[in-house]
Amino acid sequence: MYWLVKSEPVKYSWDQFVKDGQTFWDGVRNYAARNNLKAMKKGDKVLFYHSNEGLEIVGIAEVVKEHYQDPTTTDPNWVVVDLKPVKPFKQPVTLAQVKAEKRLANLQLVRLSRLSVSAVTPEEYKVILEMGKTK
């Protein structure tokens, strides 16, 4: 399975992620997004999307640890996963490009635009990599 996570670059950018080398993905307070975190498996690939500023997919991450209690809250409803950066896109893929690509019409980023952690089909993942000139 493939996934997409969103982060505002001013709060946590791809460059900071690369500098850190690994992070836990916290702050998710939406049940659908939380369920997606729970469904992530070690080794799954994750597209890293800059939201609000940039509005573009900029890199590929990988799940290195499956869900566990979010250490930023005592509420047992919320979980995190650990991610590590794999590689940047050779060419970022903008939201406008995604919306213009007919093969991505059902991408959750487009259909459920407020969802911070979303599923990506293998076909959608392949198209996005192609658009980003990334293997």
pLDDT in tens, 3-35: 999 999 999 999 999 999 999 999 899 999 999
pLDDT in tens, 41-66: 999 999 999 999 899 999 999 999 99
- CATH placement of domain 2-131: 3.10.590.10
Q: Kindly report the three-state secondary structure assignment for every residue of 40-61.
A: CCCCCEEEEEECCCCCEEEEEE
Taking residue 80's Cβ as centre, other Cβ atoms within 10 Å add up to 21
